[in-house]
Amino acid sequence: MAKKTAIKLSKRDIQTLENLAGMANRVVAQAKRKKDPAVDIPVRALSNVCFNDRKRIIEMGKRTSQRQLFNLSQAKSFMQTMLVASGTKQLIEQGKTTSIRGLYYLLKHTIAGVKEETFDEQGDCDPIIEDCEVLLECLREELHLYAQKRGDMVGEIVLTDKGDEIDCSRMGSGGYGIPSIVEPDVIQFKKCSAKFVLHVEKDTVWQRFNEDKFWSKHHCILTHGAGQPPRGVRRLLYRLHNELNLPIYCLLDNDPWGYYIYSVIKQGSINLAFESQRMAIPDAKFLGLRSIDFVRCKLSDSVKISLNDQDRKRAKQIAEYPWFIKKKAWQKEIETMLDNGFKLEVEALTNRDISFVTEQYVPQRLQEGNFLD
């Protein structure tokens, strides 16, 4: 009898381990050939990011920079890169996952013979993790690292999560807490009668929709990400869209932050452009709130929140994003907000009636097919 249960590696894990071994083998081969060990790391900077018009997502360019062992200014980060890679290999082989904070502590130690620490602080480790992601062409989750866990889901879908069957239409007022790792070896979709996904910005708005059983009346899935959705929520929306062909409708605030959240869901994040191809949903639609809603929904002056300088600056920056700049409707949307001189929160609709948003606003937008793209 085996003393220790053998860890069953998923196909994804085997692939990631191969990538890790490949990188290590290249370094070893260089050393054996008496060449200076080095790795080529794709540049993660705005200068190496572009918008792919055809795929409609943010992509990384092809620029790389070399990180060498025998280079005084690069030796430490070379060592850190190998250390992070070896740490994630250990996690995968053990069948365990951890947070980026956990990995930092796992790898942090005083280097033998000197007083130097491998990492002085979390900020030293995080960019190296991102380097390893691009270097190995793996998502963080595939390296068995998890991000913060936020966001909940209810609606007409049955899934399994680590083998447990979860019927999201029987989750009461609390809902199913969306995990941070939602890859297919963890989460499998079993049965889905939902016709679309409604993603709302805030947990408080989500509670309103859940209480009014919106998802049951309109046959949908209801998610939130407690603000800017964390990676788990984005990746889950991506999978729901791509595997189950569900349209994704976003109900966000009528302010630059709401626009930005939409931009990240739709086109990907600028900082982590390499993830876009597995996270971004170019077909996601912006359902509201819209700058015309003050008039369209006959809201009272009381709900206006004046734009401040920061809001105006951010709005203008967002209007310049390559994926917004060519869209007349978006240009008009942002212009109208600037002309209005105020922003509107989804909760402002409460001013009409407590369930105006669930019973009138969203159903009307859906019926009219009235979205921003």
Q: Which residues bind a second copy (CB under 8 A)?
A: 91, 94, 96-99, 101-106, 108-110, 117-118, 146, 148-150, 152, 160-166, 170-181, 186-187, 203-204, 206-208, 211, 226, 300-303, 345, 347-351, 354-355
Smallest distance from a second copy to CB 116, Å = 11
Pairing relation of β-strands 187-192 and 157-161? Answer: antiparallel
> What DSSP letter does each residue of 11-74 carry, written as one string?
HHHHHHHHHHHHHHHHHHHHHHTTPPPEEEEE--SGGGEEEETTTTEEEE-S-EEEEESSSTTT
Rounded CA-CA distance 304/337 in Å is 11
Residue 95: what residue type?
G
- Lookup: tokens for 111: 């280097």
Cα separation values, 270 from 55, 260, 313, 323, 337, Å: 15, 11, 18, 12, 24
Smallest distance from a second copy to CB 147, Å = 9
Nearer to a second copy, 327 or 352 (CB): 352
Rounded CA-CA distance 14/95 in Å is 11
Smallest distance from a second copy to CB 159, Å = 8
Asked whether the CA dihedral 304, 306, 307, 310 is positive or negative, the reply is negative
Nearer to a second copy, 126 or 161 (CB): 161
Smallest distance from a second copy to CB 71, Å = 25
Dihedrals phi, psi of 249, to nearest 5 degrees: -110, 130
Pairing relation of β-strands 220-224 and 196-200? Answer: parallel
Q: Give the H/E segment covering residue 146.
A: strand 145-146
Smallest distance from a second copy to CB 115, Å = 10
Rounded CA-CA distance 199/233 in Å is 10
Nearer to a second copy, 42 or 232 (CB): 232
Nearer to a second copy, 9 or 270 (CB): 9
Question: Is 105 one of the catalytic residues?
Answer: yes
> What DSSP letter does each residue of 152-168 carry, written as one string?
EEEESEEEEETTEEEET
Rounded CA-CA distance 108/80 in Å is 10
| Dihedral-angle region of residue 317 (phi above 0 means left; psi in -120 to 50 means alpha; beta otherwise) | alpha
Nearer to a second copy, 336 or 351 (CB): 351
Nearer to a second copy, 65 or 169 (CB): 169
Rounded CA-CA distance 197/220 in Å is 6
Rounded CA-CA distance 351/56 in Å is 37
Residue 367: what residue type?
Q
Smallest distance from a second copy to CB 35, Å = 33
- Lookup: tokens for 27: 């370094």
Nearer to a second copy, 72 or 114 (CB): 114
Smallest distance from a second copy to CB 189, Å = 13
Residue 152: what residue type?
D
Closest to 360 (Cα-Cα) out of 253, 283, 288: 288
Please list the active-site residues.
105
